[in-house]
Structure 1
Amino acid sequence: MTELLEIEKQPRSELISLVDWVGVTLKTIPIDSVVDDGREVHSRRDIVLDDIYKLLAIPESEFREMPRGLLGYSKQMACGDIRILYAGKADMGYHVQMSGQGCRQYESYWSLGWEAFFERLYAADADFARLDLAIDDIRYNGDEPYFWVSDLDRRNRGGVCRSKWRNSRPMSTVKLSTGESRGHTIYYGSNQSDIMLRIYEKNFEREAAEMELEEDLTAWNRIELQLRNDRAMATVSHILSGIPSGEIIFGLLKNYINYVDRTDDSNKARWPISEFWSEFLGDVEKLRLSSRAPDKTIPAKKNWLDNSVSATQAEVWWALGSPGEDYFVEMMNRGLEKMSEEQWARAEAFRTMYLAEKETAADLKEVRYADYIARQNEHSEELINSLAKEYLDKIKGDASTSPKDLDAF
């Protein structure tokens, strides 16, 4: 398992494309197909909560009912930051909301891939109300990002930004005791429009939330496109048609905003695009949606159990009079019965890899031990030979000492 942990800690300096918000509404779901006058007709029925669990591929047992709803819905079920909202007006159906943190949780614990997830929702005629696509530019060990957010703000104020958006809204946080900047954010477009852009320094946001950052982190810029309604639906359709997310984001950014170099030409439309922006857009175009590697899923769950659940389990176990090991065995048996096919597949895949790594680690340990013993034996032999030579040299020296020399002592 050491190798897995080392992989997770390796610094990244390339751009990463990811899903950072999903909001979909579902009202009906297909159930079968019938033939009517030679035409295939798909029969549908109203969707229910159990259907949502199956679409998400998250077991019902992972959700908890919350005390109140959101967004006009009176009830909600929550699995971490993944929420199912329901019991609204008759025509509201069910709304599934994944915040940015919810998307990371989905990737870590449940997802079989965003494309497969979107395909399920698309087939169920889900209405994508919101989809956020983000790009992370994460840098380490002094490496600089494509741009600094504060520099983009200066360029905006200097009139060298060409955009379909009419205004930008910069925000900054300053530590009053020192005057030190604690993060810049720029908004382009309205939060209620079908497309809005946010560019901000993600590392400061995480620090404000008291989340730990890696020591060698230089910068972490987040570029987020918030897409709503028709824009969100069109984007999902493009993703399902095989178009890489980078091409989609590249096309949207290039169409809506470009940073340019001022010239003597009075027509700003003819000013050339700045080199830093061209390089950034060029690398964005190559991206595909990233997701957490499958081999990180089980360690993440284990870490969650160790840190978030163990105290609760111990509390219940102690309160029940310390019922012994059978309590946990029965708990595991009940859990095995509830596991979904996706959970079995993930567990089996990781188990195979884990056992193979464990066997390899044992073999390496044995080889290293044998090598250690061999080196120790070699060292002992060298030491014995050295001492023997030193002793022989001493004897030879004593034998060559004359009586006259002995008198000197």
Structure 2
Amino acid sequence: MVLNEEQWIKELREKRIAYGISQGRLAVASGITREYLNKIESGKMKPSKELLETLHKELARFNPEAPLTMLFDYVKIRFSTLDIQHIIKDILKLNINYMLHEDYGRYSYTEHYSLGDIFIYTSADEEKGVLLELKGRGCRQFESYLLAQQRSWYDFLMDALIDGGVMKRIDLAINDHTGILDIPELAEKCRKREYIGKSRSYKFYQSGELIKHREDDREYMGRTLYLGSLKSDVYFCVYEKDYEQYVKLGTPLEEADIINRFEIRL
């Protein structure tokens, strides 16, 4: 192994540890096993140049100081089957015995199984089938299971599609940690017709709870901008995530890790 490769691998390991990323998490993101990555870092295996570049590229996505990060924020998939055990065991790869079963559901389903914020709805109606719903926290929890299974989101979604799953809704979120996006400025550009896209439709909402004792300060209002028709297959939403966390959790705006969030809703 040449010196350049040794330096690359040393830098890879040092950055991974500094970012707080496990070998397993980086391995799954890079499409290899944890054991293989361990051999690379210990010098027992010589990786190809392409794999080394992939490892560094994937590791860069986990940089805690990156101004922008992306994640799945909502997933809803319908399966044309009543075999809920098959969906839980073979698609989600979870143990149904550890799930809570309730004789009621949502979206006109009659019952559901849940594990934390992971929800699977079912009923006796064959046309409705089985419905998986993962909201924000459910996505984060399911990511932990995917990591333990050495699967990625891509692996899971491909398994769902192969099994006939229909993607009812998928939200991809881009978190702005430094305030790169100026929502009022973006809304003003839309008003001036400086926004170019297939759909010229947009909606800007400057509403929400005012922070107590600051009713006269409009800078403390939550603001949301929608780009595209809400009835279309794809539209975009930009909103003040820090304000949302203040309203929900009471987190001071200056302490929020995420300032704005940009969502792609499919």
TM-score, normalisation: structure 2:
0.67
Structure 1 residues 114, 199: closer, same or farther in 2, change over 3 A? same
Matched with 2:7 is none
User: Alignment partner of 2:222: what SS?
Assistant: strand
- The answer on 1:12 being equivalent to 2:65 is yes
Instruction: Tell me the residue number matched to 1:48.
Output: 83
| Counterparts of 2:137 and 2:258, CA distance in 1 | 20
Q: Which residue of the partner structure matches residue 220 of structure 1?
A: 259
Structure 1 stretches (4+) deviating beyond 4 angstroms? 3-6, 211-219
**What secondary structure does 2:94 align onto?**
coil
Q: Distance in 1 between matches of 2:203 and 2:253?
A: 30
Over the matched positions of the two proteins, sequence identity in percent amounts to 26
Residue 211 of structure 2 is aligned to residue 158 of structure 1 = no
Q: Distance in 2 between matches of 1:4 and 1:147?
A: 30
Instruction: Give the 5 Å matches for 1:230-245.
Output: none
**Following the alignment from structure 2 to structure 1, what is the Cα–Cα distance between the partners of residues 257 and 113?**
39
Residue 228 of structure 2 is aligned to residue 189 of structure 1: yes
Q: Which has a greater percent of helix?
A: 1
Q: 1:340-372, CA deviations, whole angstroms, 9 ceiling, x for partnerless residues?
A: xxxxxxxxxxxxxxxxxxxxxxxxxxxxxxxxx
C-alpha distance in 2 between matches for 1:61 and 1:221 = 39
Once the two structures are superposed, residues 171-195 of structure 1 have per-residue CA deviations (whole angstroms, 9 ceiling, x without a partner) of: 2233363133232111123333211
Q: Kindly provide the amino acid, as one letter, of the partner of residue 197 in structure 1.
A: F
* Equivalent-residue separation in structure 2 for 1:218 and 1:56 (angstroms): 30
Structure 2 equivalent of residue 103 of structure 1: 139
Contact 1:58 1:110 in 2 (8 A): no
Separation in 1, partners of 2:71, 2:257: 20
Q: Which residue of 2 aligns with 1:24?
A: 77
Choose from 95, 98, 111 the match for 1:75: 111
Matched, 1:202 2:241: yes
Q: In structure 1, list runs of 5 or more residues that go unmatched.
A: 29-46, 140-144, 228-409
**Cα deviation 1:258-289 (Å, max 9, x = unaligned):** xxxxxxxxxxxxxxxxxxxxxxxxxxxxxxxx
Counterpart mapping for 1:6-405 below 5 A = 7=20, 11-28=64-81, 47-54=82-89, 55-111=91-147, 112-139=151-178, 145-172=179-206, 173=208, 174-175=210-211, 177-178=213-214, 179-180=216-217, 181-210=220-249, 212=251, 217=256, 220-227=259-266
The AA in structure 2 aligned to 1:157 is R
Given that residues 138 and 220 in structure 1 are in contact (C-alpha distance below 8 angstroms), is that contact kept between their aligned partners in structure 2?
yes
In structure 2, stretches of 5+ residues that fail to align are 1-15, 22-62
Q: RMSD value over aligned CA atoms?
A: 2.7
The amino acid that maps onto 1:50 is Q
State the alpha-carbon separation in 2 of the partners of residues 149 and 87 from structure 1: 42
Per the alignment, in what secondary structure is the counterpart of residue 223 of structure 2? strand
Which residue pairs with 1:404 in the alignment?
none
Structure 1 residue 64 displacement after superposition = 0.8
Q: Which has the larger radius of gyration?
A: 1
